[in-house]
Amino acid sequence: ETAQVEIRIEGMHCNSCVSNICDTVENLPGAFDIHLTFQDKLATIIYDPSILKIDDIITEIEKLGFQTAIAN
């Protein structure tokens, strides 16, 4: 099973922030892929909803110090 969610991310300072978010999300069990650019501030995440919950993705991103909002 595959789902996609778009999460708006505020508080990124540079591309190292992008890398930190991508590395963290990619390592979550049930995460398949993440696309995120500093310019768009919009993360597109492909994941398995039977393994990984949106709330868990958001929690992990916010633990890194960013603010989030679900965009779809």
**Closest C-alpha to 56, from 19, 44, 47:** 47
Q: Which residues make beta-bridge pairs with 26?
A: none
Tell me: does residue 44 bind ligand 9UX (CB under 6 A).
no
Residues in 13-42 that interact with ligand 9UX by CB under 6 A? 13-14, 16-17, 20
CB of 2 to ligand 9UX, least distance (A): 28
Q: What is the DSSP letter of 28?
A: S
Nearest residue (CB) to ligand 9UX, 11 versus 49: 11
CB of 63 to ligand 9UX, least distance (A): 11
Name every residue whose Cβ is closer than 8 Å to that of residue 53 and which is 6 or more positions away in sequence: none
